[in-house]
């Protein structure tokens, strides 16, 4: 009887190891692997959590870390910078991502300056700058950086993370793609399928520009200056 009890206890410990310990060990190993993979592109304090999750997702879907850039600060003029969430250089051109983490109902038009977020079943409303226009400006700023960008295709992808629901969106330009994070790879596959190869005049020049823009984001003064410029811009729109 005692031997049976001991054997039963050993069996329970073995089951615990198999179903609990090994499970958490595997998850821990996956976490470390993902952290190391993400570090090939960005740092844990850069951008938002939603942006970093998207970067990791792209890496896990075999997009090269050499073509992927996160939290870029493009230098414009007169001490101004343009902040881009994610840029992916692909065989069909440059994809610029604007990432939003939102909940509630989303209403908007591609032509209007402001979109509306409604929470608590209509009891709370917030306005935010039209992400279509926002990313169009990002692409315009990026195009202005290099002469070769004038003929290079650019694509705008707006990614909405979180539990938000698109209630009424209209007049979205045909060259702008709205997607949930899980839909991004499908959007990219559509771009690759429907567009011819892009002709980069000087790939190394593009890489240097994007790397410099990422490095600018490490400068606290640049980040602070950009935040001030954004606040002034939004105040002028009210």
Q: What percent of the chain has pLDDT over 70?
A: 88
In the predicted structure, residue 121 carries a pLDDT above the cut 90: no
* Section 52-69 average pLDDT: 97
What confidence score (pLDDT) does residue 129 get? 95
In tens, the pLDDT along 154-166 reads 999 999 999 999 9
Q: Which long-range contacts (CB under 8 A, 24 or more apart) does 50-55 make?
A: 50/99, 50/100, 50/101, 50/159, 50/161, 50/162, 50/181, 51/85, 51/86, 51/99, 53/161, 53/181, 54/86, 54/97, 54/99, 54/159, 54/161, 54/181, 54/184, 55/86
Global pTM? 0.88
**122 band by pLDDT with thresholds 50, 70 and 90:** confident
Residue of 202 and 1 predicted with greater confidence: 202
Highest mean pLDDT among 30-34, 48-52, 78-82, 164-168: 48-52
* Burial state string for 120-153 with b = 16 or more CB within 10 A and e = fewer than 16: eeeeeeeeeebbbeebbebbebbbebeeebeebb
pLDDT of residue 235: 72
Q: What is the pLDDT of residues 66-75, one digit of tens each?
A: 999 999 999 9
What are the phi and psi torsion angles at 93 (to 5°)? Answer: 135, -165
Q: Which candidate, 141, 206, 40, 179, places its Cα nearest to that of 188?
A: 179
The pLDDT score that the predictor gives to residue 77 is: 84
The gap from C-alpha 162 to its chain's centroid, in whole angstroms, comes to 13
Give the residue carrying structure tokens 């993979």. 37
Section 183-200 average pLDDT: 97
Q: What is the reported pLDDT for 237?
A: 63
Question: pLDDT: is 18 or 50 the higher one?
Answer: 50
Q: Which of 29-33, 88-92, 200-204 has the lowest mean pLDDT?
A: 29-33
pLDDT for the residue 228: 84
- Residue-level pLDDT at 6: 59
| DSSP-derived secondary structure letter, 27 | H
Which pLDDT value is given to residue 27? Answer: 82
Residue pair 56/38 in contact by the 8 Å Cβ criterion? yes
Across the range 4-19, mean pLDDT stands at 60
What pLDDT, on a 0 to 100 scale, did the predictor assign at position 2? 60
Mean pLDDT of the region 218-233:
85
DSSP assignment letter at 43 = -
Task: Assess contact for 129 and 191: CB atoms under 8 A.
Answer: no
* pLDDT > 90? residue 213: yes
Higher pLDDT, 18 or 185: 185
Mean pLDDT score across all residues of the chain: 90
Residue ranges covered by each domain of the chain: 1-38, 43-237
């Amino acid at each position: 009887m005692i031997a049976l009890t001991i054997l039963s206890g050993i069996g329970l410990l073995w089951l615990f190891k198999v179903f609990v310990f090994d499970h958490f060990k595997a998850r821990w190993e996956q976490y470390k692997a993902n952290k190391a993979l993400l570090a090939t592109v960005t740092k844990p304090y850069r951008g938002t959590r939603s942006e970093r999750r998207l970067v990791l997702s792209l890496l896990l879907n075999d997009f090269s870390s050499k073509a992927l850039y996160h939290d870029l600060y493009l230098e414009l003029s007169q001490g101004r910078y343009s902040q881009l969430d994610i840029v992916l250089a692909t065989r069909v051109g440059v994809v610029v991502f604007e990432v939003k983490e939102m909940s509630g109902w989303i209403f908007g038009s591609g032509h209007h300056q402001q979109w509306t977020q409604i929470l608590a079943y209509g009891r709370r409303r917030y306005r935010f700058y039209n992400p279509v226009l926002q990313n169009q400006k990002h692409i315009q700023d990026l195009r202005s950086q290099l002469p070769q960008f004038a003929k290079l295709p650019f694509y705008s992808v707006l990614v909405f993370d979180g539990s938000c629901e698109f209630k009424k969106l209209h007049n979205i330009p045909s060259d702008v793609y709205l997607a949930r994070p899980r839909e991004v790879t499908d959007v990219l596959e559509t771009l690759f399928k429907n567009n011819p190869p892009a002709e980069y005049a000087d790939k190394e020049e593009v890489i240097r520009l994007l790397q410099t823009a990422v490095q600018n984001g490490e400068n606290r003064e640049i980040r602070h200056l950009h935040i001030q410029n954004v606040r002034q811009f939004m105040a002028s729109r009210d």
